[in-house]
Amino acid sequence: MTQPDGTGFEARARALADLGVTGVQIGWADNNGVLRSRTVPVEGLAAAAVRGVGVTTLFAVFDTRDGIVFDAPGLRTPSGDVRLVPAGLPEDVVAPATRPGLAWTPGRLVAADGTPWHYDQRGVLERQVAAAGEAGLTVRAGYEIEFALYRDDDADPPVPAFTGPVYGPNVLAGLGGFVPRLLADLRDHGVPVGQFHAEYGPAQLELSIGPSDPLTAADRQLLARQTVHTAAAAHGYRASFAPLPSTGSAGNGWHLHTSVARDGVNLLSGGDGPAGLRADGAAWLAGLLRDLPAVAGVTAPSVPSLHRRRPGYFAGAYAFWGVENREAALRMVPATELLGPAHANVELKASDASANPYLALAAVIGAGLGGLADRPPLPDPVQEDPGTWTAARREAAGIAPLPSTPEEQAAALHGNPRITAVLGEEVAAAFRAVRASDAAFADGRPVDEVLAAFRFRY
């Protein structure tokens, strides 16, 4: 990896200062999906781009509640330092949209000498994108982001910012200037929004981010949630991206849509397989389905993720795929004459904000590449809700529930050699440590207490 010389960042810093920016947040997500950042004065941006900002190695083993877990190889003492550097180009430093203050840029963690650090999650995704490229494949990804909006007070449970009707236009109008500001801020931050609406759950909203390459998709996911938090606070609200903010909520998914193409041709459309799948597209989907229990351990890894994973809630409780079946953990969205062949994609329902987006996308790509390599059989799609079936019927159809306890989830993930290889030995060990810490915290506590502890962490 070659470090920049800082020249372009010097010019960007001057332009930001002219806009009234005083500092730049260099942000990343930890192994719990929690946003972390260091802020440098705007005039120090170029120096940070070259030399980075010092941070402790122990961020790799922070748990969701900010506890440090000294239980991963190489991370068992308070000694050690790495450097946080901007991950993108100077133009990727985003100026605040509606008021001067703090700009934002995604970051990466490198070793003290500037070489790649084994625990850097962005590097995990970069390796999978490179592996796809070596196979002649191009992956595109986009997120649907659900969140709950509450009054900014200390009530427990929190007071919803609105109550129905779901998908109602008057809901958005009743939120004052929050919605116009959020959409304008996302536009000005370069985050393309496909749609925005009041969702099904109490006080729940959803926005969809347009597709892009995987690294840009992960970067935009971080920026989008930071933008939501800022807009909410400016209007007296508080946003929760937690998988399940309370037992009375529907739960928030961050549904991950992906497609894969070769030579510009979408492998998920134009074939004679189910829903127009080409042979390689079917193999890609079969790989996702085969590794789904382990993938979900990365894409929806937290204790609240497991509480959200309930049949009948469109949360992907069972390991199966279907065509436009919103109860399916893998929902195939086929091409249509109206939308064209490029529109075909696979939506992963078992995905939420407690996932590190770089690791989540890496796991999905790794599973798909494994499917192309091994060609596992793809079962027929299921167009019903298996949660309404008897256990005997599900067993006969080969449909099993996804893990529902931390122990089951850990066994599924760390017993899968393909997905653990995607993570790498170091990241897998750190990930295991923080998951175990969160599970130990939740063990024996009432569900409401656990959900409250995670409610505003993301």
Question: pLDDT, tens digit, for every residue of 153-203?
Answer: 888 888 999 988 889 998 888 898 999 999 999 999 999 999 999 998 889
Per-residue pLDDT tens listing for the chain (458 residues): 445 567 899 999 999 999 999 999 999 999 999 999 999 999 999 999 999 999 999 999 999 999 999 999 999 999 999 999 999 999 999 999 876 789 999 999 999 999 999 999 999 999 999 999 999 999 999 999 999 999 988 888 889 999 888 899 988 888 989 999 999 999 999 999 999 999 988 899 999 999 999 999 999 999 999 999 999 999 999 999 999 999 988 899 999 999 999 999 999 999 999 999 999 999 999 999 999 999 999 999 999 999 999 998 999 999 999 999 999 999 999 999 999 999 999 999 999 999 999 999 999 999 999 999 999 999 999 999 999 999 999 999 999 999 999 999 999 999 999 999 999 999 999 999 999 999 999 999 999 999 999 999 99
Domains of the chain: 7-117 (3.10.20.70), 127-454 (3.30.590.10)
Q: Looking at the whole model, is its pTM more than 0.85?
A: yes
Q: CA–CA separation, 322 vs 301, rounded Å? A: 23
